[in-house]
A and B are shown apart, each in its own frame.
Chain A
Amino acid sequence: MTMNHETQARDLLAALPEVTEANLRALRGRLAERADAEEVLDVAYRTLDTPVGSLLLAATEQGLVRVAYPVQGHDQVLESLAVQVSPRILNAPARLDAAARQIDEYFAGRRRAFDLLLDFSLSRGFRRTVLGHLPDIAYGHTASYAVVAAAAGRPRAVRAVGTACATNPLPVVVPCHRVIRSDGSLSGYAGGPAAKQALLTLEEAAMSEPEGRGAAWTEERGASDEGRRRHKAPPRRAGDTA
């Protein structure tokens, strides 16, 4: 009897005006803007379509904190951010405007270095040190894990450099894709070996375009010259383990 009443009442109320997707989209957009303006949005994110798939971009108020490939699982990455940074996370594209534009330019071959505020809070200690040295590897060039280890001040910490690259929270922007094995093979990559190859091929192609020569160069500092040899068609194999 009671259940019957409940059901009848629910049927009656089902005739209330519908909440449409458009209603909610507008409200959610406004919420994201207000949350950002009132500084209660700890992590803003958006996705960006690129030639290597849809990238997840996430930023704190300090800067870009995470870039993730589809194979890393965007939902899982957001859940991790909720645990590691803050659960105050919204899809709020405005904060990622500059990052999205620069990554677009990078994939169009028109940008060789990123000019963005970065939040390295997901990386600590030696890994953080290693990531700080990666932008020293110039666009279109590669360096071996050993060379990066030496540049980071711990020549024998080759393995740790591999871990630092594997756990790079900001792939593409912090160019761990330019770190390869001493024998020239690619080794693994957070976005998968095909993505790593695609980035290196893109950079090489952009380098060979004459008008690209004048574009912004990353300053070289730190690592020795032998680590900067021009990357030439690396062997295709790129297993996950050495």
Chain B
Amino acid sequence: MRAAATSRSAGPGRLRGVTGKRPFEVIVAEHGATVLRVCRAVLGAADADDAWSETFLAALKAYPELPADANVEAWLVTIAHRKAIDVTRAEARRAVPVAEVPESPSAQQADTRDLDLAAAMAALPRRQREAVAYHYLGGLPYQDVAAVIGGSTDAARRAAADGVAKLRKTYAHAAAGEERTDDHES
């Protein structure tokens, strides 16, 4: 009689590569940190966790239909972009209108370089923040960034360049230990 061999020899291992669809756990392991960095850059640390959770939950639902040759990172960043917008809208609905822009909490505790940079990021116009986050943190080429945030590839490139220039200016200012001001609008 035939004796037992390991299940691998008779098992489905030979199907590997046929669909290329890996367990979703692997996707989370590979891209979880990147998506969290992107969410933090776009939304700030407080709302980033929610956006991350919504992003991966939506991705899990849609994952079986994702084409096997799709760029997973670009797909995740696209979902994260939509979820970040949702989170921002929900915030806006909850927000109580105030007459003056309150002092940013991170400005008060910005005694480390890291928090300074995060605060500088938060002070960027949304489009620049998204372009910087999706290109430099999410790894998307500008063509894909443009597809996500709208507008032309050149416009996306410019938005990222403007954002980085402003970050450098604000951040260098803060890092030099000079008195911080809260008017980041310029």
B49–A187 CB distance below 8 A? no
Query: Which parts of A160-203 form the interface with B (CB within 8 Å)?
Result: 161-163, 165-169, 176, 181, 187-190, 192
Complex: chain B residue closest to A6, CB-CB: B136
Query: Does A134 interact with chain B (Cβ within 8 Å)?
Result: no
B118 — which chain A residues lie within 8 A by C-beta? 16-17
Query: Does B64 interact with chain A (Cβ within 8 Å)?
Result: yes
Partner of B52, one of A27, A68, A87, A89: A27
A139 — which chain B residues lie within 8 A by C-beta? none
Partner of B23, one of A18, A81, A241: A81
**Chain A residues bordering chain B, tally (CB within 8 A):** 65
Partner of A242, one of B3, B7, B161: B3
Query: Does B13 interact with chain A (Cβ within 8 Å)?
Result: yes
A31 — which chain B residues lie within 8 A by C-beta? 28, 53, 56-57, 60
Q: How far is the CA of A89 from the CA of B160 in the complex (A)?
A: 36
Query: Does A9 interact with chain B (Cβ within 8 Å)?
Result: yes
B114–A24 CB distance below 8 A? no
> A35-43, A112-120, A209-217, A226-234: which lies at the B interface?
A35-43
A83–B19 CB distance below 8 A? yes
Partner of A162, one of B4, B25, B57: B4
Query: Does A108 interact with chain B (Cβ within 8 Å)?
Result: no
Query: Does A76 interact with chain B (Cβ within 8 Å)?
Result: yes
Query: Does A82 interact with chain B (Cβ within 8 Å)?
Result: yes
B28–A30 CB distance below 8 A? no
B32 — which chain A residues lie within 8 A by C-beta? 24, 27-28
Which residue, A81, A169, A240, has most C-beta atoms of chain B within 10 A? A240
Interface string of A14-49 (1 = CB under 8 A from B): 011111000110011011001100101101010000
B33 — which chain A residues lie within 8 A by C-beta? 19, 24
Q: Decide: A17 near B4, CB < 8 A? Known: A34-B57, A76-B13, A88-B24.
A: no
Query: Does A90 interact with chain B (Cβ within 8 Å)?
Result: yes
Q: How far is the CA of A131 from the CA of B49 in the complex (A)?
A: 45
Partner of B15, one of A83, A91, A163: A83
A19–B37 CB distance below 8 A? yes
B137 — which chain A residues lie within 8 A by C-beta? 13, 16
Query: Which parts of B3-44 form the interface with A (CB within 8 Å)?
Result: 3-13, 15-16, 18-19, 21-26, 28, 32-33, 36-37, 40-41
Q: Decide: A89 near B12, CB < 8 A? Known: A16-B114, A158-B1, A169-B7.
A: no
- Chain A residues with a Cβ under 8 A of chain B: 5-6, 9-10, 12-13, 15-19, 23-24, 27-28, 30-31, 34-35, 38, 40-41, 43, 45, 68, 71-73, 76, 78-84, 86-91, 145-146, 158-159, 161-163, 165-169, 176, 181, 187-190, 192, 239-242
Given contacts A16-B41, A84-B15, A87-B63, 4 further A-B contacts (CB under 8 A): A31-B60, A40-B61, A80-B13, A146-B1
